[in-house]
Each structure stands twice: as C-alpha cells, then as structure tokens.
Amino acid sequence: MILLDCNSLVYATERQSDPKIAELGVRLRHYLAQLSERETPVAVPSLVLYEYLCGYPVEDHPQMVSALETNYIIFDVGVAAASKAAELFRNRPADTGPKQRAKLDTLIAATAVVEGVSEIVSEDRDYTALTLGQIATKKPSQLPKPPRDLFEDTPDEQ
C-alpha cells in the first residue's frame, strides 16, 4: 500500500509556476495510473486531507472529499497512531526541521506505520528517517516520466 503526503497531492492537482515542480505532478499521475493497473491501494491520512483542504473554500470540500474517499483509503489518526507518533517523535533523527512541522509529519508517518503502508510518496520529507527506517520514501522526481505521446511535440512534416 502506498501513501501520498500533502505536497504530492498539491503537485498533482494545483498549477505550479516552476516547470520542474509541475513535472512532478505529471510523473506522480503516471505512477498512480500504474498502481491502479496493479490494483495497489493508495492511501491518504485524514491529516493530509486536512492540510490539503485548507487551501480551498469550504463549499468545495464535500466534492473533494467524495472524490478522495471513493478512490483512496483514508486513514483516521487513532490511538495507535498517536502512540506510535509519540514514540517516533521522541526517537527522531536530529535534522527533521522545525519542531511543529516535524510533529505533524511524524503523526503522518506513524499513521503509515500502524496501517502497514510500504511506501510514502513525498518530494520534501524523508519519511524513511521519520519512521526510523520502517517505510520507504519515494520522491516524485525519481518516478519515471510517462511515455511521450506519439503526436506530442512532433515537428510538422515538410
């Protein structure tokens, strides 16, 4: 099972002025299509859902939540995750950045651990370090590009 963090959702859905960041979304969408073909479940923790929805007017939330909960496993942050997060946070590596951000990301990481996630897709956070090596992190920039469309950017025939 694969888990997406908030930045992955943002890169894949929101307009990015930096073409390099925009390309991450393209790679991520291609990867998700491959996961669908392999029937690999993709998950989003409710905390990530919260972070993502913060960018949108409340009236849009029901439609967004409906699209996500139909197609993604949405994990609650329960007692087990809270307990695991506290354990991971107390044993976190030294270079995990600002404390409050690290606390939130550790809770996402702990949710992934207790729910049996094998891989977290994130460009910006090393979840492998946060989970003390229990879960792999895959960066969208390391995902393969989708194959080029045969008719895309083809020079006009003379």
Specify the stretch interacting with other proteins by CB under 8 A; choose among 4-12, 86-94, 127-135, 149-157. 4-12
Among 22, 26, 77, 80, binds other proteins (CB under 8 A): 80
How far is it, in rounded angstroms, from Cα 89 to Cα 72?
26
Task: Give the closest residue to 106 by CA, choosing from 138, 122, 140, 129.
Answer: 129
Among 27, 45, 72, 127, binds other proteins (CB under 8 A): 72
Specify the stretch interacting with other proteins by CB under 8 A; choose among 39-47, 87-95, 128-136, 148-156. 39-47
Residue 33 to residues 36, 98, 146, 158, Cα–Cα distance (Å): 5, 34, 10, 36
Q: Does 132 bind other proteins (CB under 8 A)?
A: no
Largest CA distance in the chain: 67
- What angle separates helix 79-90 from helix 99-114, to the nearest 10 degrees? 130
- The residues of the shown chain that bind other proteins, judged by CB under 8 A, are 1, 6-7, 9-10, 12-15, 29, 32-33, 35-36, 39, 41-42, 51-52, 54-57, 60, 63-64, 66-76, 78-80, 83, 97-98, 101, 114-116, 124
